[in-house]
Amino acid sequence: MRHNIKDKKPMDKAAIALILCFSVVALASVFTVKSSLDKINLSDNTDITVPQKNETKDKSVAKRVPTVDSQDNPQSNIQNQNNGNSSSPSTWVVPVDGLITLEYSTELPIYSKTLNQYMVHNGVDIAAPLDSRVQAAAAGTVVETYKDDRLGYTVKINHGNGFITTYSNLSDKILVESGDVVKKGDVIGGIGDTSLFESADDSHLHFQMEKDGSLVNPSDYIDF
């Protein structure tokens, strides 16, 4: 056993010496590789800086092209605005004169007097006396008129560009029908008291707005 241990020790020493030698060689080679790499990197950098200058030159040339485009863009913007004016609302009007008494809140439930519970509110409630005129918030086509189980007599108008407005809690005297083309400000009906869900609130218009199939806050578009 002892002999074996003694035999092993010199072997280990020799092995360590060999490993040291190899490591020194390896380190040396690593340094040489590193230094050569650094040289390559330096040369690469210098090589890169030259094309970068060329690129910047190219970019400056390329920048001139977009400026030509941007000169064209205002025209296309104007065209878009014209399209917007003709086919979809560029500006909106309030559907009825009055203050917002219940804000749009689809994420945080708010208190409903009628239902005595907290619930989301998919539109804004605009206070107005009974039979106040309700007008189209923008030009569009009436999609449908119906009596909603919860929100009462309702008119839905498509304004193009993904915008749909919905007017609820109207009186039963609705002045438009589906397919009618309306201009901004055209009277579509009057304030009623037909919403079961909001019957305990003072008379008001429940007004919803959709953009591309999703509810949006009307206050983001209309200056109430």
From first CA to last CA, the distance across the chain in angstroms is 98
Q: Does 206 bind Zn ion (CB under 5 A)?
A: yes
Minimum distance from residue 184 beta carbon to Zn ion (Å): 23
d(CA 199, CA 130): 13
The stretch near Zn ion (CB under 5 A) out of 154-162, 184-192, 198-206, 209-217 is 198-206
Total of chain residues touching Zn ion, rule CB under 5 A? 2
The stretch near Zn ion (CB under 5 A) out of 53-61, 107-115, 124-132, 175-183 is 124-132
d(CA 139, CA 88): 7
Phi-psi region of 116 (alpha: psi -120 to 50; beta: other; left: phi over 0): left
User: What is 103-170 written as a DSSP string?
Assistant: --EEEEEEEETTTTEEEEESSEEEE--TT-EEE-SSSEEEEEEEEETTTEEEEEEEEETTEEEEEEEE
Site for Zn ion in 125-184 (CB under 5 A): 125
Minimum distance from residue 87 beta carbon to Zn ion (Å): 29
Three-class SS state of 190? strand
Tokens at 22, concatenated: 């190899």
Minimum distance from residue 210 beta carbon to Zn ion (Å): 15
Closer to Zn ion by CB, 156 or 206: give it: 206
The stretch near Zn ion (CB under 5 A) out of 14-22, 52-60, 117-125, 130-138 is 117-125
Q: Which residue is nearest to Zn ion (CB)?
A: 206
Closer to Zn ion by CB, 88 or 224: give it: 224
Q: Residues in the site for Zn ion, rule: CB under 5 A?
A: 125, 206
